[in-house]
Structure 1
Amino acid sequence: MDKILAAAKAIATARRNRTPLAALPPDIAPQDEAEGYRIQRALHDLLLPHAGAMVGYKIGCTSAVMQRYLDIPHPCGGGVFAKGVHDSGARLAASDYVRVGVECEIAVKLARDLLPTEAPFTAEWVGEAIEAYYPAIEIVDDRYVKWETMGAPTLVADDFFAAGCVLGEAVERTKAPDLLKVTGRAVINGVEAGRGTGADVLGHPHNALAWLANHLAAEGRGLHAGQIVLTGSLVKTVWLKAGDSVTMELAGLGNVEVAFT
């Protein structure tokens, strides 16, 4: 079994069993982020029977607050799977996660494909490929014995904390507010736990989407019509416990809610 598949199987087993992942053995741990993404692609194939079809991507580390928190100075991508996507108002079991957390995000749904042959992509180009925006909660899972020591390549290999999302009502692109001025508030059990604006996401969420499209194009892959992309958190991750209720308020886009039981 080759190193890439061995690492992917180790991560997939930990995820299915909800076992905190320790550092991968040195002989299979990714040496750099490029190798991390190769493991991630192999992992996605292993997760499909368990997690459902891959329906989009999440982009992590797109804001200064998250780059400081994770000590990673650039964006990272991960997969979003069908069984992890929920409608606002969902009630989810905290026990389905190792250590569940939430982030406040602007999500997009694509109206058209963004093919690798069309690269390089700009923010303006990808903006015109968007069908709708959503107020979104990214669900993240600290699946690690100690994430601070895992290193970016292994975090990338394991979808960069991705564990799904909760989507509010869609807002058509032509009716959306200026994303730079959208203020997001994370409210946990009625108490504000963080706030940020669309401008905090790489200067504009469309910049994050362009980064993802270019990142995938460099691997010969594209984005596709109907896919959902979570563009990155406006606030620092909030870690939760069973019994917590979450509302993300994105002014001009709407609210989105989830409760963990």
Structure 2
Amino acid sequence: MSATFNPGAAATLLTDALRSGVQFRDLPAEAKPATLASGYDVQDQFMAALGDPLVGWKLGVGSANAMRRAKLARPLVGQVGASRCFAAGDTVPVPAGAVVTIEFEIAVRLARDVPPLPGELAPADLAGLIESAQVAVEVVLSRYEDRVVVGMPAFAADNVGFHALVLGGKIDPASVEDVRDSAEVALDGERCALPLAGDDAIYPLEALQALLAHAAERGVTLRKGTVVTTGTLTRPFDVSVADGARTVRATYGGGELTLQLAPRAVS
């Protein structure tokens, strides 16, 4: 934990906001983390206060272009709580009036415990850490009204805007590029998102490497079976539930993942 920053006040504000479903503009200056390390200190206390068992990790702001714009050396990392993990076909509750962002992703599960490592792994060794892969949809909803203007340390504190993760069918880890190339996401039957490419794209093994670096820096052992959702394959898009439930359907190479978003109180 950072020596000169007390993360408790920010963690309390974020916890209260998540439980109430109310967004706010920014953290007070005296409670706002100035560095990513301090932001992650807040994140740890925020997640501990929720009391939601850790089942996975998420990567955000992970493409080359996104990191360049955000002046980041590697993607941001958030934590996935058990109560916010859903299966395909489930309904994800969203605070009434909120606008969420939809991202179609590849998630992997770790084949073994991974203690903090001193350096990068070769691609073959990274691939060897993967027990299985599956498609997923992340639902992003920051506790801030505008998650960009608050800055990256504050966004890291907010658990990188994580709201929910919907896990779909398993895929062959070697088929990731085929899944990317064929991916489409529709909202209520209307196509909204196609694959990202080039410096806008995210590559799962690179995302996993970034998570290992984060875990080493934080002194965290990544546990066997943990799910890691590696970042969006398709262009993110926003969805409002102000007028009622919505249906999101992602398709890829003959497969599909469907979920519903519905306005309701969350806790």
Deviation of residue 239 (structure 1)? 1.3
Measured at CA, do residues 7 and 142 of structure 1 come closer, stay the same or move farther in structure 2, by a change above 3 Å? closer
Instruction: Answer yes or no: is 1:166 the counterpart of 2:163.
Output: no
Q: Does 1:181 align with 2:183?
A: no
* 1:44 aligned partner: 47
Contact preservation (8 Å) 2:66, 2:200: no
Aligned-partner SS, 1:240: strand
3-state SS of 1:169 partner: strand
Residue type at the aligned position of 1:14: A
1:22 aligned onto 2:19: no
Q: Normalising by the residue count of structure 1, what TM-score does the alignment of the two structures yield? A: 0.87
Report the CA distance between 1:103 and its aligned residue: 0.5
Following superposition, the deviation at residue 71 of structure 1 comes to 4.2
Whole-Å separation in 1 of the counterparts to 2:200 and 2:134: 15
**Alignment correspondent of 2:265:** none
Residues 14-48 of structure 1, C-alpha deviations (whole Å, 9 max, x = no match): 11111212211111100111111111111111111
Task: Give the Å deviation of 1:219.
Answer: 1.5
Secondary structure in structure 1 of the residue aligned to 2:46: helix
**Paired residue type of 1:33:** L
- Matched residue, 1:251: 253
Which residue does 1:230 correspond to in 2? 229
> Could you tell me which amino acid in structure 2 is paired with residue 182 of structure 1?
V
| Residue type at the aligned position of 2:81 | F
Greater mean alpha carbon deviation, residues 55-64 or residues 94-103: 94-103
The whole-number CA distance in structure 2 between the counterparts of 1:133 and 1:56 is: 13
> 1:222 & 1:202 partners in 2: Cα distance?
28
- Aligned residue number for residue 133 of structure 2: 133
Change (3 A) 1:164 1:66: farther
Cα distance change, pair 110–99 in 1 and its aligned pair in 2 (3 A): same
Residue by residue over 1:58-104, the C-alpha shift from the partner in whole angstroms, topping out at 9 and shown as x without a partner, is 00012256558x74554111010101111101123333784322101
Once residues 199 and 105 of structure 1 are traced to their aligned partners in structure 2, the CA distance between those partners, rounded to angstroms, is 16
User: 1:220 offset after TM fit, Å?
Assistant: 1.2
Residue 220 of structure 1: aligned partner: 219
Amino acid at match of 2:109: K
The residue aligned with 2:91 is 91
Cross-structure match for 2:56: 56
2:22 maps to amino acid: T
Q: Deviations over 1:133-152 (max 9, x none)?
A: 11100011132223232111
Partner Cα distance (2:128, 2:77) in 1: 21
Letter aligned with residue 94 of structure 1: V
Q: CA RMSD in A?
A: 2.4
- What SS does structure 2 have at the residue aligned with 1:24? coil
**Counterparts of 1:18 and 1:239, CA distance in 2:** 17
Structure 2 counterpart of 1:244, one-letter code: R
Identity within the alignment, %? 27
Residue 217 of structure 1 aligns to a residue in which SS? helix
Tell me how far apart the structure 2 counterparts of residues 79 and 249 of structure 1 sit (CA, whole Å): 26
- The answer on whether the counterparts of 1:134 and 1:169 sit within 8 Å (CA) in structure 2 is yes
Q: Indicate if the aligned counterparts of 2:107 and 2:135 stay in contact, CA closer than 8 A.
A: yes
Structure 1's 189 and 215: CA in aligned 2 closer, same or farther, altered over 3 A? same
Residue in structure 1 matched with residue 195 of structure 2 by the alignment: 196
The one-letter amino acid paired with 2:179 is V
Aligned residues: 252
1:11 aligned partner: 14
Give the distance between the partners of 2:33 and 2:217, measured in 1 at CA: 19
State the TM-score, normalizing by the size of structure 2: 0.85
Q: 1:236 to 1:202 in 2, by over 3 A?
A: closer
